[in-house]
Amino acid sequence: MAVLPFRFLRSARRVAATASLRLMVFCALALWAAWSPLGQAGGMNDFRDSQVIHSYEEMAVRTVLEHGQLPLWTPWTCGGLYALGSPQTRFAAPPFLFSLLLGARRAEPVLLFLFLVLGMEGFFRYARLRTGSVLGAFVTAPLFALNGLFAMSWLQGWINFFGFLLLPWCLLGTALVCRRRPVGLVLLAGAFAVMLGFGGTYPVPMTALFVALEAVSGLLLPRTWPQRLRVAGWLGAAALFTLGTSAFRLWPLLETMRSAPRIMAGQPGTSPGHLATMLLGSPGRWEGYFFLAPPVLLLVAASLFSRRARYPWLAAGLSAWLAAGYHFRLSLFEALRALPFFDTLRYPERFALFLAFFLAVLGAAGLGVLWARARRSSLAAWGVVGLCGAALGGTVMARQGFEAIVQRTGVVPEPVRVEQPFAQARGNRWALGYFVALNRGSIACGEAYPVPMSAKLRGDLPQEEYLEDPSAGQVQRRAWSPNRLELAVHATRPVHLRVNQNWHPGWKSSVGEVVSREGLLGVSLPAGEHAVTLRFLPRSGLGGALVSLLAWGGLGVLAVWHRRRRPLAAWQVGALAAGPLVVWALLGVAWREPAAPPVLTNPNGTPLLVDALPPEASSARADFGVPVELHGALVPPRPDANGLLSFELFWKVTGRVPRAVGVFVHVVDEHGRMINVDHEVLGGTFFFKDAPRGPLLRDAFTISAPRLPPGTWRVLVGLWNMREDGSRITALTPGGSPIPDGRVLAGTFTVPPLP
């Protein structure tokens, strides 16, 4: 073997195998990638999504530093909401400490740097375990961390997506659990808890899929059934510990999902060609958005000769299939959305991140193949050098694309704070950062789920706390903070106190009873002089924190016993893992709190469920070849002042409906021109398959009239198989006669000529 490549490779491998040297390299690469964002520290990203998501962190910092409270409730957005139960908040994780120390905006680029280092180190450890190649894992780790998705996350303010960089730690923890190593329990439970606390609405469920795949792979490693049963026991304990350590965030999120259900509609698909462009960039243009630098394909090709590459190839194939969404007739993504919690996923192309991850693992395996032969073959040694050079070139290319994206971030000066008493305002969800600086709440809501908001919220009240009957007395604010209100009330007779914020069952009052007054936070008070103190003490937040503390205590006991080389029996590990969940169940039974009923509304705010056809709607009766009836429709005669046409269809489900059934809406003019307004989810909440039976279902949707030519238009509706063969479902009149083409006339409207 040639001396030159051998010395180079031996030096590179020594750096990779030495933790301190390796981390120095990873820190240097992360600093290189985060250099421009660090230079933007302190400025405000004016992108609309960033305005919403960042403001949650700003509110949490303000709650802790100025009021000395946990950021459980935030009054500054949507009229007040449960911050710990909001999917997009990220303060319930250790990175929040940096926001407290540096300020929320200055902390964000620091978090980018730290997560990039974490991602590279986690990838190195997982890829080394999977492939056995120290050098291969070292040179491909930056290719995963410098993924274009993380640059786009910085550009759009989706800091929550940095949680995807904890993916390798979750997989590493699972692999170690399968080897019955206690450290795996800590890694898996800790990574998931941090990911969930950091706002992991996408990272957590998507990562959970591949953790399950890793667990199945680990179960197949032992050769005997008794060994597999022991591994299964460890995996069960890992699942229980993970649930327990995540309870502080999981319980509030489950509570929110129950009170504000939302299903994402549509059938997005990604063709193989588009997926390849998204993954590797456009040929000849490497300065933009892509998931993986193309030179890694050279390393991937070498992995074809490695037996260790079989699992990463399988995982990469499943990732590509999921990322294709509905493009193929046989859709794995469609099957995934049939599972609980996964029906909220609407961007299958984000699975391309996992495809890029496993391709990078394959790259590490490919370099490992040549490394194993390098001692015997000079050609193989030079091949390893070449592949290392390809990985280095890919890293430079990835950083170039990363930099091109982050440079497009629109940064404006941080708004000047105005110190004044808190009050609600009409607001603007795309400029929420300015409202927080003004200590004003924005009634305009930009959340990703239907926040239960009171229709009685106002942005023009002279006083935020008032009596329903003004003649019954007076209210004076003594002290205000997000989680605590102190009021002096003089009531000449029994009265209801109202606070201009949304009601939540977690609010408690020192006097009287907390009630919902048309969705507003209210207190039923007797006559007299009262010092009323309102506190926000949600069962799910406080109880979940207790469960998580117990789970971490159990992991601590397990770690101490393992360190003393005193292995615990299987039943002891099971007790430590299951104990916190038993406490969780007992808290749910013993700690009573009124449930927040789900508020089922359409995007336009109208109720989703109605008992009878509204008088303004016209009858349009039809029965279909599935147990669904159309009872009526509301079609406006012309566009409104904003050029919008708002339609409503009234359906009734009488039996079990197949999952593939959806609504087609054809808007046709007298010349035969047509536009489609097809959809599969009613009001953004129910598939026909899951819709309640009995009440009418108001299905509201809107189109923009300016894109329609002037004239008279008919609205024809029906049902069809949105998957399967795409055929229309037979429509019948109430008398049983077939309706031509399965299309029911819902109404007509006229688009006037342009002035």
Q: What's the pLDDT tens digit per position in 434-478?
A: 999 999 999 988 787 788 889 899 999 999 999 999 999 999 999
Our CA angle for 216, 222, 226, nearest 5°, is 100
Amino acid found at 574: G
pLDDT over threshold 50, residue 272: yes
- Please check the confidence at residue 7 and state whether its pLDDT lies above 80: no
Give the length of the chain. Answer: 755
Dihedral of alpha carbons 331, 336, 339, 344, sign: negative
- Separation between Cα atoms, residue 525 and residue 493, nearest integer Å: 9
- Classified as helix, coil or strand, 700 is strand
Q: What confidence score (pLDDT) does residue 603 get?
A: 75
Angle of CA points 506, 508, 510, to nearest 5°:
170
Mean pLDDT taken over the chain: 89
Angle formed by the axes of helices 167-178 and 104-131, nearest 10°? 40
In the prediction, which pLDDT does 160 show? Answer: 93
Q: What is the number of alpha carbons within 13 Å of residue 56 lying toward its C-beta?
A: 29
Question: How far separated are the first and last CA of the chain, in Å rounded?
Answer: 83
**Which pLDDT score is estimated for 592?**
87
Asked if residue 562 has pLDDT above 80, the reply is no
Q: Can you give the pLDDT at residue 266?
A: 64
Per DSSP, 77 falls in state B
Per-residue confidence (pLDDT) for residue 755, from 0 to 100 = 66
Q: Is the model's pLDDT at 571 over the cut of 90?
A: no
Helices and strands (H and E) in the chain: how many: 22, 24
Cα-based torsion angle of the residue sequence 680, 682, 687, 689 in order, rounded to the nearest 10 degrees:
-120
Q: Is 28 exposed, middle or buried (0-12, 13-18, 19+ CB in 10 A)?
A: exposed
Cβ(667)–Cβ(674) under 8 Å?
Answer: yes
pLDDT at 545: 96
Question: What is the pLDDT confidence band of residue 3, given thresholds at 50, 70 and 90?
Answer: low
pLDDT for 6: 64
The pLDDT tens digits for 245-267 are 999 999 999 998 888 776 666 66
Cα separation of 729 and 718, whole Å?
Answer: 7
CB within 8 Å of 518: residues ≥ 6 apart: 454, 455, 456
Query: Does residue 620 have a pLDDT over 50?
Result: yes
DSSP 295-345: THHHHHHHGGG-GGGHHHHHHHHHHHHHHTBTSSSS-HHHHHHTSTTGGG-
Outline where 407-520 has alpha helix (H): 432-437
> With bands split at pLDDT 50, 70 and 90, how would you rate the model's confidence at 1?
very low
Asked if 63 and 426 touch (Cβ cutoff 8 Å), the reply is: no
> Looking at residues 504-514, what average pLDDT do you find?
95
Range in 238-242, 375-379, 672-676 with the lowest mean pLDDT: 375-379
Q: Would the pLDDT of 514 be above 60? A: yes
Give the C-alpha separation, 337 to 722, whole Å. 15
Average confidence (pLDDT) over 379-399: 87
For residue 365, give the 3-state DSSP assignment: helix
Please compute the mean of the pLDDT values over residues 178-201 and round it to a whole number.
93
In terms of pTM, does the model score above 0.75?
Answer: yes
User: pLDDT category, 287, cuts 50, 70, 90?
Assistant: low
- Give the residues across from 646 on adjacent strands: 702
In 32-178 the beta strands, taken as DSSP E runs, fall at: 44-45, 73-74, 81-82
* Residues 9/99, Cβ–Cβ less than 8 Å: no
Which residues are bridge partners to 669 per DSSP?
713
Give the range among 560-574, 634-648, 727-741 with minimum mean pLDDT.
560-574
pLDDT at position 260, please?
76
The one-letter amino acid at 387: L
Question: What is residue 634's three-state secondary structure?
Answer: strand
Range(s) of the chain covered by CATH 2.70.50.60 = 609-751
For the stretch 21-49, pLDDT in tens is 999 999 999 999 999 999 999 899 999 88
Percent of the chain residues past pLDDT 70, beyond the cut? 97
Q: 283 falls in which pLDDT band (50, 70, 90)?
A: low
Whether 268 shows a pLDDT value over 80: the answer reads no
CATH 3.40.190.10 fits 609-751, yes or no: no
| Both tokens assigned to 423 | 């009050």
pLDDT at 334 over 90: no
pLDDT at residue 357 in the model: 96
Sign of CA dihedral 425, 431, 436, 437: negative
Does 93 have pLDDT greater than 80? yes
Q: Is the model's pLDDT at 352 over the cut of 70? A: yes
pLDDT tens for 572-604 read 788 889 999 999 999 999 998 888 777 788 877
Q: What is the arithmetic mean of pLDDT over 551-563?
A: 88
418: its two tokens: 């105005």
Q: Compute and round to an integer the Cα radius of gyration of the chain.
A: 29
704 pLDDT above the threshold of 90? no
**Per residue, what are the HEC states of 262-283?**
CCCCCCCECCHHHHHHHHHCEC
**In one letter, which amino acid is 609?**
L
Give the Cα separation of 187 and 124 in Å (integer): 15
What sign for the dihedral angle of Cα 585, 587, 591, 595? Answer: negative
581, 239 Cβ separation under 8 angstroms: no
